Structure 1
Amino acid sequence: MELRHLRYFVAVAEEGSVTVAAEKRLHTAQPSLSRQLRDLELEVGTQLFTRGARGIELTPAGRAFLDHARLALSQAAEAVAAARRAARPAKATFAVGFLTGQEVDWLPHVTQILRAELPNIDFKVSSLYSPDVADALQSGELDLGFLRVEPRPDVTYKVIAKEPLVAILPSDHHLAKEAEVAPADLVGESLIGFSDVPHVLRDVVDTYLRQQGVEITPSHRIDNFAMGISLVASTRGIALLPTYVEPLLPWSVVSRPLKGKPPTIDLAVGYRRDNKSPVLETFLAGIGQLIAAGPAGVRNTG
């Protein structure tokens, strides 16, 4: 018994017609197909079909045979696929993690640097909080990360940009009429602060306000920028966030630059020095190109 006999049998059983199966599925002549089916029945030793006015119908033996024929064909197809997979060398995996939102600005640069490598690798991209990116770099789950400088014993950082912080406030807030927001203007406003999760950003904001002589107790503390934007819209508070969030603002929220020299927060690429990935080596060789180009995203300054 050959696999082609099983394919012929399944096709006729599913179409209910020798003619239709021959012409539409098997692309063979109807007399040849009928002869192959007779040979199959002889080999099995029992009648598999009945031929009547309504076409071809399966006998009880044919129905029992159909399930096993389908399984045999499926297993044969899987055997072929497994052999082909084994014959192909496995693609190397290169995993990049981004502080949520930063992929908008930096992923185009990464793919440009790695353009020659991409057809030959399994390129994975994820979006996480900065501490989670750092943890994944430390554990080896990620090869490369775009994040804040989060202290981890085995992770090396290279700063690629210094992002200014801006004031995020409701679009109908009285300070939204100003071209810039002075630090003193924040006094008496509901300030949205930060929890211990984005601790690098929290430290930058706290240091800035202290240096400006502004004392404000935050009305809320947030873990991420999305929560901050939501609270600005719902509580009419003000948050100080990096400029990379500007393209993500809804119509009800606007950004305004801070008057004077604004605080900045570092964005870095992180990686493990003991990572021997040639793809990482290619990226690091092109990192100067990435730094010179700067963020690729389009800023919305209104």
Structure 2
Amino acid sequence: MELRHLRYFCVVAEELNLTCAAERLHMSQPPLSRQIKQLEQEVGTVLFERSSRGLRLTPAGTFFQQHALQILEKVEVTIDATRRMARSQRTLFGVGFVPSVFYGQLPMLVRDLRKRENIELSLAEMTTVQQIQALKAGRIDIGFGRLRIDDPDVEQEILFNEPLIAALPTGHPLEGTSPTCEELASNPLIIFPAKPRPSMADVVLGIFRRQRLKIDVVQEANELQTALSLVASGIGITLVPEQVKRVQREGVSYVTLADKSITTPVVCSRRRGDKPSPIMEEANAILKVLVDNRRSGRYP
């Protein structure tokens, strides 16, 4: 499958008329029709319903259209960024991160790096597992996550351990207290992300499992913000890293846990064996200051 097949498909899906689509694509109708049929054969399903009244997307076609548009948009953004980087003679530096680390000091690292005229910064939200693969593939240069993952090609450094806190619906009986895990376990639990796994969800589940506490996972969310929205709706509670309390969300209250030893690490991942580039050395220097400030309780 080539990008042109996706472009052809998206135009046909928008026009729902092969003649009009062919005119937009500056080609004749028969070759376009053949390309669409070849695409359906490669995907392995019918994407369009064909009738005397024209074309209509099948449910599979609607799904494929949504993702094809995202792919084409990503390609355009990548091409545009590459051209800008080439014109400015900047070096691309990729940063992967899980959302929960972006409420603390990571934005300060990003802000400081963006001030460097020689750096074209690329940010990508991804799980720790995805960061490991992206590092090995060269798509990012450094990653910030929550999990320790053993991989011979990647080195990981725990920057600091961060306390976990509970996010409760406002007015919850535990609001204003420091609940134990046993008290939390008696409440419906929301975990995130639902996939891919392993993830922060498994960290939280492991906390209760190690204490042999039975829990009721009432909902799995793909994103932190979704989990907080579910909490605000009164569906359940969730555990989040301490940094997240900076997010003032209506309907959500945060409480510290009775057990202060319940923490989650902030893990920095880099390719093993790489000689640090000048940009990586800059990033490491900025990161050291930020981590020292975090450990000493100073927040610049």
Give the TM-score normalised by structure 1.
0.60
Offset of residue 235 of structure 1? 4.0
Secondary structure of 1:160's aligned partner: strand
Structure 2 letter corresponding to 1:278:
P
Output one character per residue of 1:199-242: Cα deviation in whole Å (capped at 9) or x when no partner. 24233323321343421131222333222112212243011111
Structure 1 letter corresponding to 2:126:
L
1:291 aligns with 2:291: yes
Output one character per residue of 1:145-204: Cα deviation in whole Å (capped at 9) or x when no partner. 11123524422111112111111110121221x321222222432112343535242333
1:1-302 correspondence to structure 2 within 5 Å:
90-111=89-110, 114=113, 118-149=116-147, 151=149, 152-176=151-175, 178-194=176-192, 195-197=194-196, 199-276=198-275, 277-285=277-285, 287-294=287-294
Structure 1 letter corresponding to 2:188:
S
Task: Report if aligned partners of 1:157, 1:271 keep a CA contact under 8 Å in 2.
Answer: yes
The total of aligned residue pairs comes to 211
When Rg is computed on C-alpha atoms for both structures, the one with the higher figure is 1
Task: Report if aligned partners of 1:105, 1:297 keep a CA contact under 8 Å in 2.
Answer: no
Counterparts in 2 of 1:286 and 1:186: CA distance versus 1, 3 Å: closer
For 1:132 and 1:233, the matched residues in 2 are separated by 29
Counterparts in 2 of 1:188 and 1:112: CA distance versus 1, 3 Å: closer
Task: Report if aligned partners of 1:198, 1:224 keep a CA contact under 8 Å in 2.
Answer: no
Give the TM-score normalised by structure 2.
0.60
Task: Report if aligned partners of 1:150, 1:200 keep a CA contact under 8 Å in 2.
Answer: no
For 2:264 and 2:199, the matched residues in 1 are separated by 8
Secondary structure of 1:294's aligned partner: helix
For 2:129 and 2:266, the matched residues in 1 are separated by 13
Counterparts in 2 of 1:264 and 1:112: CA distance versus 1, 3 Å: same
For 1:89 and 1:234, the matched residues in 2 are separated by 47
Offset of residue 252 of structure 1? 0.6
Secondary structure of 1:118's aligned partner: coil
Task: Report if aligned partners of 2:245, 2:254 keep a CA contact under 8 Å in 1.
Answer: yes
Ranges in structure 2 where 5+ consecutive residues have no aligned partner: 1-84
Offset of residue 279 of structure 1? 1.0
Task: Report if aligned partners of 1:182, 1:258 keep a CA contact under 8 Å in 2.
Answer: yes
Task: Report if aligned partners of 2:147, 2:265 keep a CA contact under 8 Å in 1.
Answer: yes
% identical equivalent positions = 29
Structure 2 letter corresponding to 1:259:
A
Offset of residue 108 of structure 1? 4.7
For 1:241 and 1:193, the matched residues in 2 are separated by 9
Task: Report if aligned partners of 1:155, 1:271 keep a CA contact under 8 Å in 2.
Answer: yes
Offset of residue 249 of structure 1? 4.0
Task: Report if aligned partners of 1:198, 1:223 keep a CA contact under 8 Å in 2.
Answer: no
Task: Report if aligned partners of 2:90, 2:117 keep a CA contact under 8 Å in 1.
Answer: no
Counterparts in 2 of 1:233 and 1:172: CA distance versus 1, 3 Å: same
Ranges in structure 1 where 5+ consecutive residues have no aligned partner: 1-84
Task: Report if aligned partners of 1:143, 1:275 keep a CA contact under 8 Å in 2.
Answer: no
For 2:241 and 2:141, the matched residues in 1 are separated by 25
For 2:88 and 2:251, the matched residues in 1 are separated by 52
Task: Report if aligned partners of 2:185, 2:216 keep a CA contact under 8 Å in 1.
Answer: no
Secondary structure of 2:139's aligned partner: coil
Q: CA RMSD in A?
A: 3.1
For 2:191 and 2:118, the matched residues in 1 are separated by 44
Offset of residue 265 of structure 1? 0.9
Secondary structure of 2:217's aligned partner: coil
